[in-house]
Structures are given as structure tokens and as C-alpha cells.
Structure 1
């Protein structure tokens, strides 16, 4: 039995090829999520004193923002440097090098900024878990597709990282699902009603009137329970056949982009989009751009 298991694992690793434009697109989307956070928010909005922390940047961190004076000019200068580096990451150039830039920027924002959401935390965790794949990627651009690679040790490292990524995503949704079961509003189907009416995270004014009839209808219960069902479905996707991944992916993407529109969590939803692609898109199932289709 152990021998058969060893042969099965060896076969999976031998046929595994993570260095495709699927993983490349994921890196670019994660970097874009951080980019829009820094681009549309001044440093004085991201970094500010808070309860128990009188300084602008959180203390006791290695964040790059903590190495400069706590002035608007200095913090914005670092912000602009980060924007330039993130553009390089998004371009796909030398993933082995730029993955380190991406990880450090994600860490600096997550550990140094005060006003952040879950998207920055997801970005940091995924940048760290993607690092073994990136460091074993010797391509010049992460948009290139390599059909045959014989580097067994690199494949083994990348495969282990990929398995951990999928397990981590499933754990994230499992934790989110089970945490909601302890909340009476999620069980009785009214949680989405309260979220959409929340003064800070709720519906924008231009959607409040058109969707008021939906909030006041019994259908809001169905929407609340569908949210729970989708999260449970994403947990189960860890054990599904690859043939079913695409259906779950489209369902989950629609779910998160609705969150982006209704609650305004744009950078968070973009980060979740990247996470869903690495979770539910086989890495060997490369994206074929329109230009390549015409050549074929």
C-alpha cells in the first residue's frame, strides 16, 4: 500500500506543471488588489493613530513605512515606490525576484496600516504561500507557458506549496461558514438584511432605493442562506474532481463580485478573485488569449 501511494504521489508530481499563465494571472491580480488600495488612498488615510497606538504606523513591525519619518510626505513617498514595484509585479517580469517585492509590500501594508480590510490579510498569506512556486520559477515572464519541465525537486516544492494553498483556502471558507452558525441572524436568515443596511459597510445611496423592496421581502432569507451554501460548497470543492471546479468557480466569482458592488469592498473582492482562481482553476489548464487563438 505504501509503495502504491508513493507511486501515485510521484506520478502526480511528475505530471504537475504550475509555471503557466494561470499562476501568472493570479500573481498579477493579487498585486493589482494592493495597487488600487495604495493608488486611491492617501497615506494619511491608511496610516493614522488609533486606540492604544499613538503613532501613525503600527509599532514593533518591520514594515517599510516604519523606517521613515511619520510625515505625510515621507509616507506618501514610500507609497509611490510601492506602486511602482507593484506595477513591475503585475507585468509578470522575473517572478523569482518580484515575488519578494510582492511579499514585503503585502507585509508592510498589513502590519503597518491602520485602516485595512480582509483583502490585505488574504494578500499577505497568499503571497507567502505562492513564494515557493515563484522562487522555483526561472521564466523571464510569468505569462509564458512551459509545456515540459524535468526539474523534479522544483516540482516537488511547488506541488507541496500548491496543496497547502488549496487547503488554506478551504480552511478560510470553513472558518467563515462555521463562525456564522453561531450567529442567530445567519440562522434565521436576516444577516444579509443587517449587513446591507449597515451605515459603514451597507449599500451605497444609489442602490438603496432600487433594492429596498428586496430588503423588505422574505426573499432576503433565501439570499442569506445561499451565502452560507456557497461557502460550504467552496469547502467541499477541496475534495471535488477537477471536472467540477469550473462550475464552482463561476458561482464563487459571481458571489464575491456582488459583494464588491453591494458593499464596496473592491480590493477585497479582487484579492478573493485571485484566490479562487488558484483554488479552482487547474494550473495546467492555461488561458488561451484571443491573439493566440488566431495564430492557431
Structure 2
């Protein structure tokens, strides 16, 4: 399924009028995962690995590892670029985004604008964003327990951006990217277990 999905994703990213970044991220990750899809005989990445040769195992493993590196680099670049902007450093950037930007919160939750008028809240939110993205960038070299904590934090973080700025497809794209970054292939312990079904 990777090849047709890559075609659709790349075509969409080239033709969309108002790109928001998620389409490009999906296309780049799918490009890295082509070899994994072609050489991995499993139905999906969480299925048990059976009857796979050494070459397939190495190539599929490196394909996923490169996807993890790609997502980690995305967050690292985001942090570095934010640190070059004075509005991020002084904490005022979210005030401008929420109150004066075209990507402001929708009217049903317009009260959120007033929250970011408070300087301490705006500054704390800005630096929380920088710190969380730095942790996500570094998660590729951290332990399993720490990554499990980052999964709901990262998905919730992008979910908040989706609600506040209307970037819902970006939320879906980054949630998928976070799963590749933070969840190891074959690890289903973070998924809810359905009653009556075996663990593997």
C-alpha cells in the first residue's frame, strides 16, 4: 500500500492551494518506507516477525530507523529555527498567533484568545512548545519508558494545535509520524487489549 499512498500524498502536496506541512511530511516518510513495505512479508508493522531472511530483516529495520531519524530531525530543526526568532524567545509569539494571525482559534472557542493575552501564560506556552519539541527530537536515543510518556504528550500537543489553528490534517500526519518515532515495531503493549483476544 505504500506506493499508491505515496502517489496520492505526493500529488496532493504538489496541488494543494494552502499547504500546511503535513502532506510533505507524509510523502517524505512514505518514500523512506517503500523498501520496508516491499521486503517485509508481515501484514503490518505490529504483526510478529516470522520467516524473514537476514537481508530483508536488515533492510526493513533500516527503513524504519531512517523514518525515525527523519521525524527526529523535523523536531530538531523546528526547535533550532524557533530559537532564532525573538518572539519565541520572549514568549510573545503565541499572543500574535492567537490574537492577530489568520490561523486564530475558531469562534466557538474564542475565549482561548483571552488566555494568551496574559503574558505569563503566553510565555509559558511558548517555552513548553520548545521544550517538548526538543524532547521529541532527542527521544530517538532515550529509553522505552520515556518514549511512552511522550506519545500522549506529542499527540495531545498537535491536537491542541489542530483545534486552535484548524490544522487537522497536520495533526493526523504528525500523530502518525510520532508513532513511528516513539513506538518500536512489534510493540503492542501501548494499545488497549480487547477482551477475548490473545496478546500476540
- Distance in 2 (alpha carbons) for counterparts of 1:215 and 1:144: 41
Matched, 1:241 2:143: yes
Shift of 1:235: 1.3
* TM-superposed deviation, 1:145: 1.9
In the alignment, the residues of structure 1 paired with residue 140 and residue 41 of structure 2 have an alpha-carbon distance, to the nearest angstrom, of: 29
C-alpha separation between the residues in 2 aligned to 1:143 and 1:222? 37
How far did residue 215 of structure 1 move? 1.6
The residue matched to 1:197 in structure 2 has which SS? helix
1:251 to 131, 150, 153: 153
- CA distance, structure 2, for counterparts of residue 180 and residue 144 of structure 1: 35
Counterparts in 2 of 1:21-36, with a 5 A limit?
none
In the alignment, structure 1 residue 164 sits paired with structure 2 residue 58: no
Q: Deviations over 1:116-167 (max 9, x none)?
A: 210110110011111111111334x438723433411111101111121111
TM-score (normalised: structure 1): 0.62
Matches within 5 A, 1:169-180: 169-180=71-82
Name the SS of the counterpart of 2:48 in structure 1.
coil
- C-alpha distance in 1, partners of 2:137/2:105? 28
1:94-113 to 2 correspondences below 5 Å: 98-113=1-16
Q: Which 4+ stretches in 1 moved above 6 angstroms?
A: none
Larger radius of gyration: 1
Alpha-carbon distance change, 289 to 261 in structure 1, aligned in 2, over 3 angstroms: same
1:117 equivalenced with 2:117 (yes/no): no
8 A Cα contact 2:104 2:164, kept in partner: yes
Q: Deviations over 1:21-55 (max 9, x none)?
A: xxxxxxxxxxxxxxxxxxxxxxxxxxxxxxxxxxx
- What's the CA shift for 1:290? 4.3
After superposition, where does 1:78-93 map in structure 2 within 5 Å? none
Q: Distance in 2 between matches of 1:251 and 1:174?
A: 17
Equivalent in 192, 217, 224 of residue 94 of structure 2: 192
Residues 143, 106 of structure 1: alpha-carbon distance in 2 compared, 3 angstrom cutoff: same
Decide which of 153, 177, 187 is 1:275's aligned counterpart: 177
- What CA distance in whole angstroms lies between the structure 2 residues aligned with 1:167 and 1:268? 19
Aligned to 1:213: 114
Return the match for 1:294 from 181, 188, 196: 196
In 1, the alpha carbon distance for the partners of 2:123 and 2:193 equals 42
Q: Equivalents in 2 of 1:266, 1:146: separation in Å? A: 32
Match of 1:43 in 2: none
Q: 1:104 to 1:192 in 2, by over 3 A?
A: same
